[in-house]
Amino acid sequence: MTSEGLETEKKYDVDPDTALPPLHAIPGVERVGEPSDADLEAVYFDTDDFILASRRITLRRRTGGADAGWHLKLPAEYDTESGTESGAEQAPRQRREIHAPLGQAAVVPGELLAHLHVYLRGAEPAPAARLQTRRTTRALYGQGGVHLADFADDRVEAETLGSAGRKQEWREWELELVHGDPDLFAAAAAALAETGARPAAHASKLAKARGEEAPAGTAGNGGQQPGGKAAAKQLPASGVVIAYLGEQVRELLATDPAVRLEEPDAVHQMRSAARRMRSALAVYRKLFRAAPVRRLRDELQWLGGILGSPRDSEVMRERLRTHVAELPPEQASAVNGRLERELGRRFDAGYRRVQEVLMADRYFRLLDDLEDFRDNPPVRPAASAPAGTVAGKRVKKTVKRLRRSHKAAKREKTSPGHETALHQVRKDAKRLRHAAESAEPLYGKRAAKLAKAARRQQKILGDHHDSVVARTLLDKMVRGPELPEQAVAGYGSLLETEARIIARTEAKYRKARRKARKLLKRGVG
């Protein structure tokens, strides 16, 4: 079994003979515990080209001390796009720390690998360095005996493994919060500085062993547009689009482990990120070269389809469970088992396929291509136009697309193609929602209101589409051989329920459309 916590610490470089700081003099510290010694041995794992280290991720197997076992450390405030942490270089480092039992020395636990496949992309982690640490820890206590933090004095012997092996020795201090407030780091700064301690020039012990310096500052601004809306509108259009895409790439990478571990709602979140990227690439496609955009849109559509199978089955199962619960007991009993088996089978098959795809080369290539597009956008000259002008025009064009699909659905109202036409309206409302979201840094509340209106139409028509799909499933179920009378009655009642929902959602959509008419006409500009 794994366990998870949040580690907040700050490291300091010190000379071998540096005297200990006056820990009792730190404001807020009322008592310093007795020193506790431990001998730790840790083997750090990474790929030959240090993929994990480049992402500020640490994977190690440690023996000795109170927390022996496998440790996976992932930056909590993490910019997966550049591999750098958010915030200033000198800020305390905050990381998610996931523990697993020791197990076999060279076999990384599957629960930890589930968090790493999205970065490893088919590569295998192997021992990269071995560290021997003599650690002396002193607990810092505050008012009422609260355990504020631990101060660790580490003397380290490190050896990198492989052909370019090197040995080093050094001393460092770590101040790690337990129940204290982050303000403790500022309070301790003077006492530590008096001894000559310096904020660590390395991100981790593995980085130090490799001779790697910590990066200076952060790369980019996390997608935030400087100087407010007016200044943002004058930025190149490509910058705003890439910032939006970057957010969705980050979301995709973050939800990948949750999908592998079958956490609730993870498939939905991952699918939504893929859809947002596909929408943004469609709306702003003229800013970039055609071939890369077309390839990414096709691959995102493929991934969305794979994720859609278990997600749609999950949604349908919850929907029909609610409706079955409203049936008379005899009818509910007659239909429930067969529906559960059918939808459970579809969900399981769909999720197995998702798990297969998430280990496929095609999926890993898509991740590489998304990050490359984000980091090296294949821009056309039009991408240098002011973002405000471009976003306003693209959103306006997306509104026109939605208006055309709405008119087409009205024309098809009495024809067999009406439901298909409404489904197209739903897809175009979703595209408008995503386009308006991308314009929020530029147009603020106007864009947010437009996105909200589009989302409402999308949601209503999503319920409509779910009823259409449910009706198709129920039609199939009711045609089963030699069905009991109560089952036939139950399926008939469910079909009637879906028919009522179809009529109701169409009325709700028309109302939502009328309500949003002014917003749609105005757009964001």
Q: Residue 515 pairs with which residues in a beta bridge?
A: none
Q: Residue 64: how many CB atoms within 10 A of its CB? A: 14
Give the phi and the psi of residue 40 in degrees, each rounded to 5.
Answer: -115, 140
The H-assigned helical ranges of 100-196 are: 110-113, 117-120, 183-194
Question: What's the rounded Cα separation, in Å, for the pair 513 and 525?
Answer: 20
Residue partners of 115: CB distance under 8 A and separation at least 6: 72, 74, 98, 257
Domains of the chain from N-terminus onward: 3-210 (2.40.320.10), 228-374+387-522 (1.40.20.10)
Give the pLDDT of residue 166.
Answer: 86
Q: Residue 84 pairs with which residues in a beta bridge?
A: 79
Q: What is the DSSP letter of 224?
A: P
Alpha-carbon distance values, 161 to 44, 48, 129, 166 (Å) = 10, 10, 5, 8
**What SS3 state is found at 398?**
helix
Closest CA to 86 of 184, 223, 269, 240: 223
Closest CA to 287 of 325, 242, 322: 242
Give the phi and the psi of residue 451 in degrees, each rounded to 5.
Answer: -60, -40
Q: Residue 7 pairs with which residues in a beta bridge?
A: 95
C-alpha Rg value of the chain to the nearest Å: 28
Distance of CA 377 to the CA centre of its chain: 21
Closest CA to 222 of 57, 111, 77, 416: 77
Alpha-carbon distance values, 466 to 26, 144, 276, 312, 317 (Å) = 61, 57, 21, 9, 11
Alpha-carbon distance values, 291 to 248, 300, 375, 390, 420 (Å) = 21, 14, 17, 21, 29
**Length of the chain, please?**
525
Query: At residue 143, what is the residue type?
Result: Q
Residue partners of 402: CB distance under 8 A and separation at least 6: 425, 428, 429, 431, 432, 454, 520
Q: Which residues in the chain show pLDDT less than 70? A: 77-91, 163-164, 213-230, 525
Question: What's the rounded Cα separation, in Å, for the pair 439 and 508?
Answer: 27
Give the pLDDT of residue 165.
Answer: 77
Give the phi and the psi of residue 161 in degrees, each rounded to 5.
Answer: -105, 160
Question: What's the rounded Cα separation, in Å, for the pair 499 and 504?
Answer: 9
DSSP string, 256-283: HHHHHTT-TTHHHHHHHHHHHHHHHHHH
Give the pLDDT of residue 227.
Answer: 54
Give the phi and the psi of residue 176 in degrees, each rounded to 5.
Answer: -120, 130
CB 218 within 8 A of CB 29: no
